[in-house]
Amino acid sequence: MDQLDETIHQPVRLKIMAALKALPNREAIEFVRLRAIVDATEGNLGAHLATLEKSGYIEITKDFVGKKPRTRVAMTTSGRRAFERYVDYLRGILDGTS
Amino acid sequence: MSLSSEQASQALREVEAVSHRSSQLYQYQKFAPMLVLWGVIWLVGFAVTHFFPTRASQIWIPLDVIGIGGCIFLGRRGKQEASNNTSWRWLASTLAVVAFYIAVLTVFQPASGEQSAVLISLIVALFYFLGGLWIGSRLAVTGLALAVLTLVGYYLFPAYFLLWMAVVGGGALILAGVWLRTA
């Protein structure tokens, strides 16, 4: 990778991607839990999730548990690859290869 | 846009910290219902064993089967890509604990029902504590509390030890599960 992925590099989106990458493949996390990890407001997190979804890096599913609405977020295969490339790029800067 | 090595280093530290937190909370979420399940099993098992001590094996074998099956189910629940790896690890881990427990009891026999209960409780506590060292402090605290409560009950309240384990041991596991859930 010779260019920085600007979509991922934004601080809140970087945290979202790091949080999702730490989960097993295709495992989803609930919106409220992700918000606690990322430490963002609901609106802010929602906006950044929309950006990542538009890029194809994450999938958002909405359903109901009983009568309570639930939003779950999972990283896509494409998002996982993009994040790995992003981390490789950062490591490359430290190694002097990027 | 290009980054300096300081910015890259900062970003990697951020990734590391968030990944650690996310992974820890994920593990807590997986462990929480299992702790509650085993808390209920201890509550029922030790209480019934207190009143019917000669039927301990008839009481505990079905309860253990429920516990192991429940853990396998809970471990797989919610996964978009079902994997047998986790199930087999749970099963193998539990069988290893049971084999160790039987081997120790065989070597050190004769052991009373209370001593057998102390042994399995301490083994479980040790696993929670060791798991906590790798996963997160709340699990380690749970293991430590379980070990201390087991020994307190055994030495200070020997006549009511099984009831102690039902209420205090089982209750501690249930509370620990709720505590992990709220992390």
> B112-142, pLDDT tens digit by residue?
889 999 999 999 999 999 989 988 899 999 9
Distance (Å) from the alpha carbon of A73 to chain B's nearest alpha carbon: 12
Residue of B9, B20, B80 lying closest to A94 (CB–CB) = B9
pLDDT at residue B79 tops 90: no
**DSSP of B92-132, one letter per residue?**
HHHHHHHHHHHHHHHHT-S--HHHHHHHHHHHHHHHHHHHH
Cα–Cα distances (Å) from B180 to A72, B104, B120, B139, B142, in that order, read 20, 31, 22, 8, 10
| CATH code given to domain A11-88 | 1.10.10.10
Q: What is the pLDDT of residues B29-70, one digit of tens each?
A: 888 999 999 999 999 999 999 999 888 889 999 998 899 888
Tokens representing B3? Answer: 């980054």
Q: In what order do the strands lie in the sheet with A28-30?
A: A28-30, A68-75, A58-65
| Token pair 């009143």: residue | B51
- The dihedral through the CA atoms of B174, B179, B182, B183 has a sign that is negative
Q: Return the domain boundaries, chain A.
A: 11-88
What is the distance between the alpha carbons of residues A65 and B154, in angstroms, rounded to a whole number? Answer: 43
> pTM here?
0.80
Write the pLDDT tens digit of every residue in A6-36.
999 999 999 999 999 999 888 899 999 999 9
- Contacting B residues, span 4-63, partner chain A, CB-CB under 8 Å: 4-5, 8-9, 11-12, 14-15, 18-23, 25-26, 29
- Extract the tokens encoding B159: 């006549």
